[in-house]
Amino acid sequence: MKKWSINFIMLLTLTLGIGGCAVNKEDIQGFNLISVEEEKQLGDKFVVEIEKQRKISTDKETTAYVDRVGRRLLAKARDVQFPFTFKVVVDDNVNAFAVPGGHIYVHTGLIKAAAGEDELAAVMAHEINHAVARHGTRQMTNEYGFNLVLQLLLGDNPGMLTQLATSLFGTAGTMAYSRGMETQADHLGVETMAKAGYDPNGMLAFFTKLDAMSGQKSSKVEQFFSSHPLTSERINNVKTAIANLPPMKYSGPLDKGEFARIKARVK
């Protein structure tokens, strides 16, 4: 037991020591004490708890559409280490979130607020790249320590698993990433969108729209801003990322009328 305790302390100290380091937006590996396989296991445990708390859409057409958009983006992501899943949450709040292990959830409120598929793809590309860069387990380890994350993996603390699922991904919870992680997800999201044929200006348009909604004190965007605070710096970084892209044409949605049909369904 003493040897394990010493190892835990050393690992936790190392984790906390690197927790404040800046995130290199080009480096999707980063430092992570949790293995890819462990992250898959942890994500699967969270999914069970999340789907007890959230209303998951049973509309096959809407879910299939979101999955198609997600798969199109995923095909152009830099690295895919997880068997990603894409699901729709029946919730009017404008939000989407990524769960460790490659589980992406999109609110119906996000579909309602988006003006077109490019804007929806922008938020999904951002969330996909949180998962690609494994920000979830990195942030959890920084905040709660390796010891607790290991307990969750081993099933030693089921009560804490439920509590964390609620606080991080529940109806009132959000996972707050570091500023560097948000910048990296934006940067990679712009790149992923462009490679997939979506107009990355959709990200800029949607962020600008959300920024205006925050000025109107709309309660529907509170979850998004609590987990993804928008700043003028972030918006400028997106502009720079778009400007640095090589010249290319964007095909946009494969079915030009599909987004409108799906939006009508969720309304």
Chain segment 163-206, per-residue pLDDT in tens: 888 888 876 667 888 889 999 999 999 999 999 999 999 999 99
Query: Which among 38, 39, 127, 199 is annotated as catalytic?
Result: 127
Residues 6+ apart with CB under 8 A from 6: none
pLDDT score of 72 more than 80:
yes
pLDDT score of 26 more than 80:
no
Q: For residues 154 and 151, what is the distance between their CA atoms, to the nearest angstrom? A: 5
Q: Which region among 8-17, 43-52, 91-100 has the lowest average model confidence (pLDDT)? A: 8-17
- pLDDT of 217 reads 58
The verdict on whether 127 is a catalytic residue reads: yes
- Between the two ends of the chain, the Cα-to-Cα distance in Å is 56
**Token pair of 121 as six digits:** 């793809």
HSE of 170 in the Cβ direction (CA atoms, 13 Å)?
12
Query: Which among 91, 186, 191, 199 is annotated as catalytic?
Result: 186
- pLDDT of 7 reads 46
Q: What is the mean pLDDT of residues 27-51?
A: 89
This prediction's pTM:
0.87
What pLDDT band is residue 216 in, cutting at 50, 70 and 90? low
- pLDDT of 145 reads 87
**Token pair of 58 as six digits:** 């049973």
**Token pair of 17 as six digits:** 């020591």
- pLDDT of 222 reads 72
- pLDDT of 9 reads 40
Alpha helices in the chain (DSSP H): 2-19, 36-53, 60-74, 108-113, 117-132, 135-144, 146-154, 158-169, 179-196, 201-215, 222-227, 232-243, 258-266
For helices 179-196 and 60-74, angle between their N-to-C axes, nearest 10 degrees: 90
Residue with tokens 């205006």: 212
Chain segment 73-129, per-residue pLDDT in tens: 999 999 999 999 999 999 999 999 999 999 999 999 999 999 999 999 999 999 999
Which of 159 and 130 is assigned the larger pLDDT?
A: 130
Question: The dihedral of CA 123, 224, 143, 137: what is its sign?
Answer: negative
For residues 200 and 193, the answer to whether their CB atoms sit within 8 Å is: yes
The verdict on whether 67 is a catalytic residue reads: no
